[in-house]
A and B are shown apart, each in its own frame.
Chain A
Amino acid sequence: MDPKTYKFDTLSLHAGYQPGKNAGSRQVPIYQTTSYMFDDVDHAAALFNLERGGHIYSRMSNPTVQVLEERVCALEGGTAALATASGMSAIFLTIMTLCNAGDHMVVSSQLYGGTVNLFRLTLPKFGIKTTFVKPRDTEGFKKAIKPNTKGIFGELVGNPGNELMNMPEVSKIAKEAGIPLIIDSTYQTPYLCRPFEHGADLVVHSLTKWMSGNGSSMAGILVEGGTFDWMQNDKFPSMTEPYEGYHGLSFAEEFGPTAFTMMARAEGMRDMGPCLAPQNAWNILHGLETLSLRMEKHCSNALKMVEYLSNHESVAWVSHASAPGHPDKELAEKILPKGTGSMIAFGIKGGKEAGAAFINNVKLASHLANVGDARTLVIHPASATHSQMDEATLKFAGLSHDMIRLSVGLEDFEDIVNDFEDGFRAAKKPRLVANK
């Protein structure tokens, strides 16, 4: 006897939506709407007081966005989700729901540059301080925890150095300390890894990337695993004590496994308002329909790419968790059995100049500040995404001047290789190119 609940590929097409409740429309309709009729004053009061479910105003929730939230939630195996205008707003909302002024976070040092800036520069303005720990330094996460630490945050596979954080072990450290583990799973998508199965309590995504794959829309999401007991200690008073904004509601008591998301919506979306546009939610839903198919091809193209680059005379080194000799290969095989994603970093012989020449001479691969598009993307982090960082921070984030970051797309592999050959040819004579 096996449960007949729908599986991953089915959920990516159907979860969160019932045509029967939407005029029979097979595709999810775009509710390009801001506000929703109340039946009567009693109904209005009940909705405002979280006594019943439903929509009030699209800053808090919208019927199209709701489908996206439930769909991602189902794919991650979570209890609740909240979509936001971008990945950054999902991270900001998560931290602002978790922390008060005077609190502290322990954070992996290998993160998307924007996230580093948020923790290093912006959150201190709100009195929230951070200790950064290198992703492989599992014990370091433990040592960095202080009495006022409210969570551990990291990307499973650090950007752009491809170092793995030992999520199962770090989750044990978080559990021991009675704080949640938050994973930015943008690079994995639930197709490659479902962090709740490895001890994470909250997951955030930039949906702008692989989840949509079409490079059309900004979006982010917070997903709750329903695993964390907010009442186990007195570290989270805003979750456990009566909340003035809702007549003394205790989110943890009333909503249990969905308490964090309920709070993030009721307080964060109400007061900060980074709501996702319905059209963008729909664009992301469209991409999600083919998530498995795309991720499979992203990963197989990436494997071929690692092999090609590893054997290339112009390449000094290749970093991808599947590459022979990668220090985290074993861990990757355990928690990322379907593939380690399509982000590759490699060092080009000839350093910074050669790197610039390569980038300037590829034509098919797009030079831009994004990852996870269906198209192949390249960038030179030291001069672009991470350019706001000083030398020391750059080094701490695991970056070098010869590094090229590559997000492998779904094009025919031969075409990508031909394009790269042009880039490498130019990189061998950077001065000529520079003078052209």
Chain B
Amino acid sequence: MKFKVRGIDTFASTGGRPFDKNKPLIIFVHGSGLSHMVWVLQTRYFAFRGYSVLAVDLPGHGLSSGESLKTIEEMGNWVGDVIGAVGCKEASLVGHSQGCLVTMECVAQHPEKIKTLTLMGGASAIPMNPELLKLAEESNPKAVDLMMDFAHGPAGHFGGHPVPGLYHLNVGSMIVQNKEIKDTLGVDFRACDNYKNGPEVAKKLDLPTLSILGAQDRMCRLKDGKILADYIKGSEVKIIEDCGHMMLLEEADQTLEILKKFIAEHYPLPS
């Protein structure tokens, strides 16, 4: 659906159900250069099980207007504003990759609004390879190819998508390439590279938190994901074997199962 955040046209997928502000809200935040489309194998499930779902497109991404936000702090603040913009008071957050940094920042800035936090393929910092950063800022499509290479685990490189007929390396690649690379991926990579507050923010988090990590993640390595989880008080950790950074596509079913259990326990539907 389209709605306004700070006066700017914003798009979020509602998972195929009409949005209802009276149902518990779950917001999904995508990673660098991506859009709501990466979440389809998680969002529809919750939307058809009593939740209201918003898989947002960050400003300048996917179907949202405006310019990309330049810092993780601004993005975190923006996600907080989304909640009010749709007439809600609170939400659970799910982030992937850069979306983990963004959702952690959102909790830090709007602690009263956020009920649970799920971090997929996260780390407390995401420093960028300088060459990759440069390629992205130059809109060189090679940046996207490198990103897809790093983002998929060894098994993911062969394909074998849960949705018959999809070749997920190219799906991710086209989501990024259908926008101007430097304006989305370039800006996002720079924001990740600049962000240094991760450890401090993580240590202050005080809400039910789940980390889903890919054992073969080469973007945010398993050990870095574990370090982040260690910073967060009482964080649950689930590791998916034989999976890279794109667990939400590479192992969409396992990811959904883990998320379902966590949400059912910590953010149940009102009885």
Question: A interface vs B, CB < 8 Å?
Answer: 1-6, 14-18, 20-21, 45-46, 49-55, 60-62, 65-66, 69-71, 73-74, 77-83, 225-227, 229, 231, 246-250, 253-258, 261-262, 265
Give min CB distance, A132 to chain B, whole Å: 31
Q: Is the CB of B157 within 8 A of A66?
A: no
Q: Is the CB of B165 within 8 A of A261?
A: yes
Contact of B37 among A2, A14, A257 (CB under 8 A): A257
Give min CB distance, A234 to chain B, whole Å: 15
Q: Is the CB of A254 within 8 A of B40?
A: yes
Whether A3 touches B256, Cβ cut-off 8 Å, given contacts A69-B164, A77-B170, is no
B252 within 8 A of A: yes
CB proximity to A under 8 Å, residues B4-57: 13, 16-18, 35, 37, 40-41, 44-45, 48
Q: Is the CB of A69 within 8 A of B165?
A: yes
Q: Is the CB of A16 within 8 A of B159?
A: yes
Whether A257 touches B174, Cβ cut-off 8 Å, given contacts A14-B158, A15-B167, A16-B167, is yes
Contact of B167 among A50, A53, A80, A256 (CB under 8 A): A80
Q: Is the CB of B159 within 8 A of A15?
A: yes
Contacts of B170 in A (CB 8 A): 73-74, 77-79, 226
B132 within 8 A of A: yes
Q: Is the CB of B253 within 8 A of A53?
A: yes
The docked-state distance in angstroms from the alpha carbon of A136 to that of B61 is: 39
Whether A5 touches B145, Cβ cut-off 8 Å, given contacts A53-B41, A79-B167, A256-B35, is yes
B66 within 8 A of A: no
The docked-state distance in angstroms from the alpha carbon of A246 to that of B225 is: 37
Q: Is the CB of B175 within 8 A of A1?
A: no
Give min CB distance, B265 to chain A, whole Å: 17
Q: Is the CB of A257 within 8 A of B171?
A: yes
Q: Is the CB of B158 within 8 A of A53?
A: no
Contacts of B253 in A (CB 8 A): 52-54
Q: Please, which residue of chain B has its CB at the minimum distance from the CB of A256?
A: B37
The docked-state distance in angstroms from the alpha carbon of A50 to that of B175 is: 20
Give min CB distance, B158 to chain A, whole Å: 5
Q: Is the CB of A70 within 8 A of B161?
A: yes
Contacts of B148 in A (CB 8 A): 3, 5
CB proximity to A under 8 Å, residues B239-268: 242, 252-253, 256
Give min CB distance, A18 to chain B, whole Å: 5
Closest A-B pairs by Cβ, 6 of them: A53-B162, A226-B174, A53-B163, A61-B164, A51-B44, A257-B174
Contacts of A2 in B (CB 8 A): 142, 146
Contacts of A78 in B (CB 8 A): 167, 170
Whether A70 touches B44, Cβ cut-off 8 Å, given contacts A52-B256, A77-B170, is no
Greatest chain B CB density within 10 A among A4, A16, A255 is at A16
Q: Please, which residue of chain B has its CB at the minimum distance from the CB of A221?
A: B165
CB proximity to A under 8 Å, residues B132-180: 132, 142, 145-146, 148-149, 155, 157-167, 169-171, 174-175, 178
Whether A17 touches B160, Cβ cut-off 8 Å, given contacts A52-B256, A78-B167, A81-B165, is yes
Q: Is the CB of A226 within 8 A of B171?
A: yes
Whether A5 touches B16, Cβ cut-off 8 Å, given contacts A54-B162, A257-B37, is no
Whether A265 touches B48, Cβ cut-off 8 Å, given contacts A226-B178, A227-B174, is no
Query: Other CB < 8 Å A-B pairs besides A70-B161, A73-B166, A256-B62, 6 of them?
Result: A45-B48, A49-B44, A70-B159, A226-B170, A226-B174, A254-B40
